[in-house]
Structure 1
Amino acid sequence: MNNLSRLAIAALIFGGSISTASAAGVITGITASGPGMGTFDIMSNTNDPNVLDLSKTFDSVNPIVLTFTVGHTTGGSGNPYTVTEAITNNTGQSWTDFHFAISEPTSGDQGDVFTNFESSTLSGFTLDAPTSSGPRNLNFTGALADGGTATAAFNLSPFDPGAGNTSTFTLTQVPTIPEPETYAMLLAGLGLMGFVAKRRNNKQDT
């Protein structure tokens, strides 16, 4: 094989890698549904199409599901997306945990992920250890009072469905609240503390 042939093959390989690298999945639509649904808004970001500013309100502690439609692009904007979300608690109860989970309609699909998931944040909460959080699940522990708003920030990479194709994936979000047993134990503890304090006061009076 002469040097010219080697150069031609190298150019083809290099050119192919460039075109593959510049192709990406692009989010073309987002809808929201679910029993916890209060309100949902998408704030347009004309400065950077790879930044998504979302806002949602939970009216109950049931899940809200965001469905993303993904298309294909060659060159231009694509992966990854920087997502910020304002999440408002309008459930009448304080939250102690919050969870994000990606799922896809085709079993075994693993293409839609949280990029650099360890850097994901939710104000007032701490990301759980990698044993319970990962590229497709974000689990946070913290607190958000009724009427409060927390801000989430994470990177999202949609799977490229290929030229002429579209795909969807869902992002389910759900808060959790203290279990009734926890409230019962807390009230029992407070009651016991009050009883002990009252006995001490009675002894001092006598």
Structure 2
Amino acid sequence: MNVKFKALVAALAFGGSISTASAAGVITDVTVNNGAGGTFELTNLGTDPNVLDLSKAFTSLDQISLTFTVGHTNGGPGNPYVVTETIANNTGQTWLDYHFIITEPTTGGQGVVFTNFNNSTLTGFALDSAPSSGPRNLNFTGELAHQGVATATFSLSPFDPGAGNTATFTLTQVPTIPEPETYAMLLAGLGLMGYMAKRTSRNEKA
């Protein structure tokens, strides 16, 4: 047994370890799959490992879907990716909800999830609790007025597709506003409150 091998055995016996290159899934591209609802810009991919900076402006309430391509690397940074996204409301309407949904192909899906989804944030909004939100859905309730801008932060874990392979997943985003029935109920409630206040005032004068 040579000296180097003896030293290696001794190191392992005392809790040492051998460092090896790790395999990981890396996001190699982000494209707009359905951009009818506005515009999208990828401002950072690859400059900082495991960091994505996105920018999105909605000109309508139509959903915007992004397709992520995931490749394989040896010794590269592992999961998760920290995503920061700037979201602009140019729809002419105030949003009261905002939704993120992950979908994958019916075959070959790798189980992409939001990592630590409870730590996901969207300025001016609160994250809905499970089961509304979960590993593949982020649902926020709050308010973003027309021409307002909000910043979303969340983490994504794209799994390693294996050497020589690529995988894709889709991240769909859509804002929502109250239905007309909701506005009608709100106006009816305000009208009733006004009537009751007026009636109370008359009774006090009498």
Residue 3 of structure 2 is matched in structure 1 by: none
Q: What is the RMSD of the two structures over their aligned residues, measured on CA atoms?
A: 2.6
Q: Secondary structure of the equivalent of 1:187?
A: helix
CA 1:35–1:28 in 2, change beyond 3 Å: closer, same or farther?
closer
- Counterpart check, 1:174 vs 2:181: no
CA separation in 2, counterparts of 1:73 and 1:45?
15
Asked if the contact 2:68/2:170 (under 8 Å) is kept, the reply is yes
CA separation in 2, counterparts of 1:197 and 1:170?
52
Asked if the contact 2:105/2:168 (under 8 Å) is kept, the reply is yes
Asked if the contact 2:82/2:156 (under 8 Å) is kept, the reply is yes
Q: Which has the higher helix share?
A: 1
Residue 104 of structure 1 is matched in structure 2 by: 104
- The Cα shift of 1:36 comes to 4.8
Asked if the contact 2:108/2:167 (under 8 Å) is kept, the reply is no
Asked if the contact 1:79/1:158 (under 8 Å) is kept, the reply is yes
Q: Which runs of 5+ in 2 are unaligned?
A: 1-5
For residues 52-102 of structure 1, give each alpha carbon's deviation from its aligned partner in whole angstroms, at most 9, with x where no partner exists.
110101111121101001110001234211100011111111111111111
CA 1:46–1:64 in 2, change beyond 3 Å: closer, same or farther?
closer
CA separation in 1, counterparts of 2:132 and 2:104?
19
CA 1:205–1:42 in 2, change beyond 3 Å: closer, same or farther?
same
Residue 124 of structure 2 is matched in structure 1 by: 124
Q: Structure 1 length normalisation: TM-score?
A: 0.83
CA separation in 2, counterparts of 1:57 and 1:41?
9
CA 1:103–1:114 in 2, change beyond 3 Å: closer, same or farther?
same
Residue 161 of structure 1 is matched in structure 2 by: 161
Which residue type is aligned with residue 60 of structure 1?
S
Structure 1 stretch 185-194 or stretch 126-135: which is displaced more?
185-194
CA separation in 2, counterparts of 1:147 and 1:41?
18
Asked if the contact 2:61/2:91 (under 8 Å) is kept, the reply is yes
Q: Which runs of 5+ in 1 are unaligned?
A: none
CA 1:129–1:174 in 2, change beyond 3 Å: closer, same or farther?
same
For residues 99-136 of structure 1, give each alpha carbon's deviation from its aligned partner in whole angstroms, at most 9, with x where no partner exists.
11111113483521111111111111111112221111
Report % sequence identity.
67
Q: Secondary structure of the equivalent of 1:44?
A: strand
